[in-house]
Amino acid sequence: MRPAPSSLLRAPEGRDFRRLWAGDSASQGAAEVGDLVVPLLAVTVLAASPLQMGVLSAAQSAAFLLLGLPAGAWVDRWSKRRVLLLANLVRAVALAVLPLAWWAGALSLPLVVAVAFVVGVATLFFDVAYQSYLPSLVRPERLGEGNALLQVSASVAQVGGPAAGGWLARLVGAPLAVAVSAAAFALSSGLVSRIAHREPPHDPARRRPLRTEVAEGLSFVLHQPLLRRIVATTSLSNLGGSATSALLVLYAVRQLGLSEGEVGAVFGIGAVGALAGALGVQAVVRRLGEGRTIALALLPGVAAGALVPLAAPLAAADALDDAGVVALLGASAAVLGVSVVLYNVAQVTYRQRLTPVPLLGRMNASVRFLVWGTMPVGALLGGVLGERTGLVATLWTALAVQALGVLPVLLSPLVRSGPAGEPDAGGGSV
């Protein structure tokens, strides 16, 4: 019987993976702090309205809709290590503009939105590059382990990042808390620079027109039946989820009366669930199989999502004090965190195994275009509906969209694949 392989965190073959893991960990921490303190900056310093919060949230993800498809072709042509370095440096410089503008008395909502867009562009390239880079750093049979470890980093960042961001915003103010996020992105760039692996240079003579290369990646995604279902589920889930995310800080601060620290605590409690999902995902996949995990993982998160709009009437009826509201929202976020992590690790690993190496960047970018392209739309719709129908009604509408999003994978061959085998990559749709 062959001995079990050493963890990628200890094995000699995992040296470059560990460097990627360290850089990604710092980047995830920076992103989590920034994702909380930038909206807090808009709400507490600039008194943003629901519509303005929708615009800000849309700006953060607009790059995936506007540049998602060509980004994959560009990443396939460029050094992925260099893309990771530059993306983090861009995020560091862009975020540093906000505390400087605040100090100079020039901070405005249009500037915050512009910085959010630039950070979103850099995030697009970073995310496409690191998911496409991983298969060149680890063997195919270790992709699941690598993705799970990267997700552990993301979950740990989700645990500590919002709590740290909320605490920093309360202690020194949101503008200076943004500066901490910028510094962490700069640190991440330095860590990634230590990766020794160098990809073979792309031969410019073999390049085809950008439109042809983009179309090849998009066609691969759209013509694979199970990938189509995964994309449909993720797109609808992100549409509803982004409407909720755009309004969540505003809802918590203005309607529920939570402080910056309490908002950070809600995000931190939710991230404990994400960490639990990341630590347990390999055991779940071994038990259920990759396909069934993809099909079933989101169901508990949708059910728990109902606790968010329920918090307002319960608080208004004095059934919950502030601590109870934090516990209720945190429990909802924790269950959602488990669901999303199980789903994401399983479906990302499935996509990486299914896709030929030369297509990885374009596949990942095509998927991101399709599934993250709905996020600015959802954020804007959330802002408009929040302005016109109220926050609670909008949150219920967003949850209904997320519930519909589960159906494409739930009503598919994925749900019938067990632990003995993975779903048939070429199977037809039902």
Q: What is the pLDDT of residues 174-233, one digit of tens each?
A: 888 888 889 889 888 888 888 877 776 665 656 567 677 777 778 888 888 888 899 999
Task: Establish if 92 belongs to a structural domain.
Answer: yes
Task: Establish if 106 belongs to a structural domain.
Answer: yes
Give the helix/strand (H/E) hosting 234.
helix 225-250
- Rounded mean pLDDT, 361-371: 78
- E-strand stretches of 164-221: none
Give the pLDDT score at 424.
Answer: 44
**CA torsion angle for 232, 234, 240, 244 (degrees, to 10)?**
-170
Neighbours of 200 (CB within 10 A): 7
Task: Establish if 369 belongs to a structural domain.
Answer: yes
H helical segments located in 289-419:
290-296, 298-304, 307-316, 322-354, 360-372, 374-389, 391-405, 407-410
Q: What is the DSSP letter of 1?
A: -
Task: Establish if 429 belongs to a structural domain.
Answer: no
CATH code of the domain covering residue 133:
1.20.1250.20
**CB 94 within 8 Å of CB 111:** no
- How far apart are the C-alpha atoms of 397 and 395, rounded to whole Å? 5
- The 10s digit of each residue's pLDDT in 3-60 is 344 567 666 666 778 888 888 888 888 887 887 788 888 888 888 888 888 888 888 8
- How far apart are the C-alpha atoms of 151 and 164, rounded to whole Å? 19
- How far apart are the C-alpha atoms of 68 and 84, rounded to whole Å? 16
- Rounded mean pLDDT, 164-180: 80
Task: Establish if 68 belongs to a structural domain.
Answer: yes
Task: Establish if 386 belongs to a structural domain.
Answer: yes
Give the helix/strand (H/E) hosting 148.
helix 143-172
Domain count, the chain: 1
Task: Establish if 71 belongs to a structural domain.
Answer: yes
Q: Domain span at residue 162?
A: 15-194+210-411
**CB 229 within 8 Å of CB 414:** yes
Task: Establish if 7 belongs to a structural domain.
Answer: no
Closest alpha carbon to 127 in 358, 334, 380, 360: 360
Q: Which residues of 338-360 are buried (b: 16+ CB within 10 A; e: fewer)?
A: bbbbbbbbbbbbbbbebbeeebb
pTM of the shown model? 0.67
